[in-house]
Every structure is written in structure tokens, then in C-alpha cells.
Amino acid sequence: MSIPLLTSVVLVYLSIVAFLTVKAYRGTNSAADYMLAGREIHPFVMAMSYGATFISTSAIIGFGGAAAVFGMSVLWLTFLTIIVGIFIAFVFFGRRTRLMGLNLNAHTFPELLGRRFNSRGIQGMTALLIFAAMPLYASVVLMGGGKFISQIMAIDYDVALFFLTLIVALYVIMGGLKAVMYTDAFQASIMFSGLMILLGFTYYKLGGITTAHQRLTDMQEIAVKIFGAKGHTGWTAFPELGSEYWLIVVTTIILGVGIGVLAQPQLIVRFMTVKSSRELNRAVLIGGIFILVAVGVPFIVGPLSNVFFYYENPATAGKISLLAADKNVAQIIPMYISTSMPQWFTALFMITMLSAAMSTLSSQFHAMGTALGRDIYEKALGRSGNSVLLTRIGILFAIMLSYFLAWGLPHFFEGGTAIIARGTAIFFGICAAAFLPMYFGAIYFRGMTKLSAYAGLVSGTLVSFFWLFFVHLKESKPLQLCNALFGVDSLAMGSKWALVDPLVIALPASILATILFNLWGRRLPEQHVQRCFDKIR
Amino acid sequence: MFGLEGIGVPAGLALTLISAGLCIWYGLKNWNVGHLTEQEDRQKQAWIQEEHKVEETL
């Protein structure tokens, strides 16, 4: 690709990011500005920031590549992300979260829960789990971005990783959540345009919408021949019920991410950044359209890349996408872009990927930093100090931790890119199991007790980690703890339980514990509950 | 439907488009609903003042 063209595009992009950072820095004067963007964010910025934070490089490259293997059945995840991640999240969770956040003057998700249950312990534990689990998610997003930049610009991975981290660190530390959300909105607009062009070009190249789908449907025999033993029934059909592929598609991809999105701390905090519920209503429209494109396009283009590689590209003729990309799932989408799209689009796609990585990373760094500085150090440990300064130090610490993880992981895991989609799904699953019952109860049930909140948090966390370390083969095998203790890669070795995602077990366990333990424990004072639910109907 | 096979995938595509339509309909219908109430605004101003006091004390 033309290096002058690429350099120019990147420089223009970085200049706009720098301008938005300076604008945010000048408008940041208090802790509420730094942590909640002053509670005055425009609905367009809020919705686009929410979407851009949710959609990372791994969603486009990792899950787009996975769609090239599993087929269009993953479109169900697009449905869930729109209906659960946008509609239910904004309409049924967003309004209550915003009002309760305002009633309690909460600046972060752990602070909202801590103040709702009158417990510094819950605030500290929630923040600790965020700080312990999110670096894995942040590091895999960093890895995805770093690997993509190193491939496109032909530079060393370590160099790409260093500069990517440095740029994101600068604007998050300087401008806080305002800088994060302003740049997110800009980056989301780029992602939206890039993906729309990609979809248009793909359908045009393959003969139109119905023709392209039909050509993929006609490749059914090839899919069954290669993956039939695992339950594949063609790229435009659902995998065989109960098969290995069905379990992966349904429990890990569709449910794991589709439900996990409801309990993401870095997304929930955005509900508290808008001025009123009117902004949330407007954001539903904008967010719905953005997610339709951002999640839907990779899940359509990924499977259709099989038609391109098999029939249209002479260099890979007779090969499906996975084989054309040398069995590297994360290589499918970048390879499809570079071989099928015009050169100028490759430059635009590079910026699209950079935007996807940077928007997610900035929010992760901010969420981890506030968890460490505000929730753990300042609130749970009761140390006083300048909130903004403490949060900045927390963010710096979180960035360094994620950077070293992203630097180290590829050295320890062969084919490091495979871990990108897994890391994302693991984090989403842990968040859903540990936080969702407690969060739902906090904003809907006046009679929920502190003990019940603890029960949901602890059981969701413990069951998730137990299933990850000892049952779910995809993690328990590389983690090796199960093998070291019991001599097998999974305690459910040989059965289909070893393929079931932790969320499917941990979330019901957490819900059950939350309900059961609500029978015991003291109710919170009525006056406090009234204050929490003031104006919430 | 649109060259897709069986029920599962066309249903997924249809539900995706319907859910996006639902978001658009809801957003338009409630475009001007839920504006900041005076009570909420007073609450917000009170927090801002309290925060400034804490910062000054520190």
C-alpha cells in the first residue's frame, strides 16, 4: 500500500484526535467533568461513544473472522446486541441508572452500587474485580490494534504497541471522560462510514444482495465436507442443534457477548453522563443504527468472504476463507480487505480499525483508572486526596499493566491473535455473572439487601472462575491448573459440558444466590431507599 | 429469503432489522420526552456546589 497516502490519512486522523483532546482538557474542571463528562453530554456523542466502546478491533476482525467460519448464524448476536445492548439497556436500565446516579452523586459504576447498598465493601469488591479482570480485555484489544498496525505499516509489533498505548494514554489522562467520549464519537463516525462502504463494495463485487447470499448458500456441500463433523450445515444455515459448533455459536458468541453487554462497567457509566432522560431516548435511535452496521456488517461480510476467496480471487481459487488465511481466523478480514478492496479503502479501513481499538481502549483505561483511584483507594480504603489526580494516577497504572500484558501475552501464547476474541468473551461473561443480578436488583428492587448483593457478586465471580479454570476446555487447557491438580485438561473432559461457556452456568448461579440470600439479611433503612429511588417510577 | 437457507438465519436477519426498526421508532416517538426537570436540575447544582466545597477544603 502507498505509504505517503497512509501516512497522510493517519496524520489527519491524529490531528483531529489531538484537537478534541485539547477541547476536552480545557473543559475539564472538576471530578464530575473528569469522571462523568460533566453530566452534559450530547445524545449523539453518548450513543456513538457507547457503540464505539462496545465495538473493538476484536469485534470486527476477531468476530468477523469467526463469522467466516461459523456462517451467518452469528447474525443472532447482532439482533441481541441491538435489542439487549441498546433497546433494553437504554430504555429499562439507562433511565433508572441515570436517575439513581444523580440521586446518590455516583461518579462510577462501583460507586453507584456501593452507595445504593450503603457499602464501601461492595464498591471496593466491584472495583477490584474490574481492575483484576479488565486488564485482560484491554490487553487483547491492545494486541489486536498493535498487530493490525504492525501488519499494515510493516513495523515491529512492539513498536506499534508502544505508540498505540502512548497516544491513547495521552488523551485519556489529559481529558478524562470528556476526551474519551468526544474522540469516541469521531472514531465511531469513521467506523460507521468504513463499514458501510465495505458492505456496499462486497455486495457489488459478488453480484448483489440475493445473488451473493445464494452463491454462499450454494457452497453448502463444501462447508459440510470440511466442518460437517462439528455440526456445520452451510454458511447461510444454523449449525446442527447440540453440536460442537452450535454450542460455541449459541453459548459463547451469541449469549456470552449478547447478554454480557448489559453489565459492562465502562458502558453503564455512560448512562450517567447525559443531562436528562430525553437524551437517552434520542440515543436509542442513534445507537440502534450504529450497532446494526457495526456488528451486522462484519457478520455478513465475514461469511461472504468465502465466495470471494473461493471463486473471485485467482490466488486463492478453490480455497475457503479459513484456508486462504492459512487457518488464522484473525487474518481473514484484513486479508479480504487487502485483496478485494481498492487501495484508498485499505487506508480508510486502517483508520477504522485504529478507531475501533482506540475507542474501546480509552474507555477501558478510564474505567480501570477510576476503579483504582476513586473506588478502591479513595472510597474503599478511605484515603483522601484530589479525586482527579488520584484517578489520573490510577489510569496511568492501569495503562502500564495492560501494556505489559499485551507485550507479554504473544510471547507466551503461540498464535496470540486467537486469544483476542476469547479475552473479550471471557470478560463479558465474568461481568454478566458477577454484576448483572446485583445491578438489576439495585435499580429495580427496593427491598434488595446488602447480603443479597454480596451473594450475587461473590457467587457469579467464583463460579465463573471455577468454570474457566477447571471445566471450559478452551481456557482450562491453556491455563493448565486443572491438569496440574487433577491430571486432566477439563473436569468435564469428553462431555459437551466442556464446551459450554461459563456464563451459561455462572449467571443462573448468581441469580439464584441473589434471590435466596435476599431472604436473609437486614433491609436497608427506608429513608435511604427513598433517596435512591427518588423520581424513579 | 434473500438467498438464505432454512429458518434460523433468515429469522436472525429479520429480527435484526426489526429490532433496529424498533430503536428508530422508539427514538422518534420519544424524541422530546423526558427533559430535565427543575428538581433534577436543583439536585445537580447542589452536587456541583458540594463538590467545589470539598475541593476547596482539600
- Cβ count within 10 A of residue B5: 22
CB contact under 8 A, A213 and B2: yes
Q: What is the pLDDT of residue A320?
A: 94
Is the CB of B9 inside 8 Å of chain A's CB atoms?
A: yes
**Range in A75-84, A221-230, A525-534, B33-42 the model is least confident about:** B33-42
Q: What is the pLDDT of residue A338?
A: 85
**Range in A59-73, A376-390, A483-497 the model is least confident about:** A376-390
Evaluate if residue B57 carries a pLDDT over 70.
no
Average pLDDT, chain A: 89
CB contact under 8 A, B33 and A209: no
CATH of A3-532, one of 1.10.530.10, 1.20.1730.10, 1.10.3470.10, 3.40.50.2020: 1.20.1730.10
pLDDT confidence bin for A420, thresholds 50/70/90: low
- Chain B contacts in chain A segment 25-44 (CB below 8 A): 30-32, 39
**Range in A103-112, A247-256, A374-383, B47-56 the model is least confident about:** B47-56
Dihedral angle sign, alpha carbons of residues A7, A406, A432, A374:
negative
Nearest chain B residue to A250 by CA: give it: B8
Q: What is the pLDDT of residue A284?
A: 94
CB contact under 8 A, B27 and A82: no
Instruction: Give the nearest partner residue to B8 out of A73, A216, A384, using CB atoms.
Output: A73
Chain A nearest-CA distance from B56, in A, is 10
For A458-478, what is the mean pLDDT? 92
Residues of B in contact with A86 (CB under 8 A): 23
Q: What is the pLDDT of residue B51?
A: 66
Provide, rounded to the nearest whole percent, the portion of chain A with pLDDT above 90: 47
**Range in A285-294, A373-382, B44-53 the model is least confident about:** B44-53
**Range in A172-176, A198-202, A386-390, B37-41 the model is least confident about:** B37-41
CB contact under 8 A, A284 and B26: yes
Whether complex ipTM tops 0.95: no
Instruction: Give the nearest partner residue to B27 out of A220, A281, A291, using CB atoms.
Output: A281
Between these two residues, A415 and A444, which has the higher pLDDT value?
A444
Evaluate if residue A533 carries a pLDDT over 90.
yes
CA A527 to chain centre: 37
pLDDT confidence bin for A46, thresholds 50/70/90: confident
Evaluate if residue B37 carries a pLDDT over 80.
no
The string of DSSP codes covering A239-285 is PPTTSHHHHIIIIIIIIIIHHHGGG-HHHHHHHTTBSSHHHHHHHHH
Q: What is the pLDDT of residue A419?
A: 65
Q: What is the pLDDT of residue A499?
A: 87
pLDDT confidence bin for B52, thresholds 50/70/90: low
A436 by Cβ neighbours in 10 Å (0-12 / 13-18 / 19+) ranks as: buried
Residues of A in contact with B33 (CB under 8 A): 277-278, 281
Q: What is the pLDDT of residue A412?
A: 62
CB A223 within 8 A of CB A234: yes
Between these two residues, A285 and B55, which has the higher pLDDT value?
A285
Evaluate if residue B56 carries a pLDDT over 50.
yes
Chain B nearest-CA distance from A91, in A, is 9
Is the backbone of residue A317 left (phi > 0), alpha (psi -120 to 50) or beta? beta
Nearest Cα to Cα of residue A485 among A471, A497, A503? A471
Taking the C-alpha atoms of residue A325 and residue A323, their distance in angstroms, rounded to an integer, is 5
Is the CB of A241 inside 8 Å of chain B's CB atoms?
A: no
Provide, rounded to the nearest whole percent, the portion of chain A with pLDDT above 70: 98
Q: What is the pLDDT of residue A1?
A: 62
Q: What is the pLDDT of residue A415?
A: 47
Nearest chain B residue to A274 by CA: give it: B36
CB contact under 8 A, A386 and B3: no
pLDDT confidence bin for A259, thresholds 50/70/90: confident
Between these two residues, A29 and A129, which has the higher pLDDT value?
A129
Instruction: Round to the nearest angstrom and report the end-to-end CA distance of chain A.
Output: 57
Residues of A in contact with B6 (CB under 8 A): 233, 236-238
Q: Per mean pLDDT, which of A148-157, A228-237, A417-426, B32-41 is the most reliable?
A: A228-237
Cell numbers describing residue A91: 430504555
pLDDT confidence bin for B54, thresholds 50/70/90: low
CB contact under 8 A, A102 and B39: no
Chain A nearest-CA distance from B20, in A, is 5
Evaluate if residue A218 carries a pLDDT over 90.
yes
Q: What is the pLDDT of residue A359?
A: 87
Residues A261-274: tens digit of each pLDDT:
899 998 999 888 88
Between these two residues, A150 and A297, which has the higher pLDDT value?
A297
